[in-house]
Amino acid sequence: MIIAAISWPEAVVEATGIAALALVISVLVWSIFRTGQTAIRHEPRQREELETLRAEVDELRGRLERSPSGGAT
């Protein structure tokens, strides 16, 4: 389509549509990268929590093995 062949109201509508599409795409890209940043930021904390839980489980297993019943159920 030749730009000079359309009237200015049509051009305004098309330009607005292009701007709206660009805005939607930029928000989508921004949210994807932001989600990735959040995941990267929380990963070390989750590893620390996992290690803490593993240590607690190991401690409880040790206590259970040392109990008078010997861990039998």
Average pLDDT over residues 14-19: 94
Q: Is residue 24 part of a domain?
A: yes
In a domain, 11, yes or no: yes
Q: Which of 18-27, 28-37, 41-50, 53-62 has the highest mean pLDDT?
A: 18-27
Distance of alpha carbon 12 from alpha carbon 18, whole angstroms: 10
Calculate the CA dihedral of residues 5, 25, 27, 11 and round it to 10 degrees. 10
Domain for residue 70, yes or no? no
- Does residue 2 belong to any structural domain of this protein? no
Which sign does the torsion angle of CA 20, 22, 24, 30 carry? negative
Quote the domain boundaries for residue 52: 7-64
Whether residue 56 is contained in a domain is answered as: yes
How many structural domains compose the chain?
Answer: 1
Check residue 71 and give left, alpha or beta (phi > 0: left; psi -120 to 50: alpha).
left
Does the pLDDT value for residue 20 go beyond 70? yes
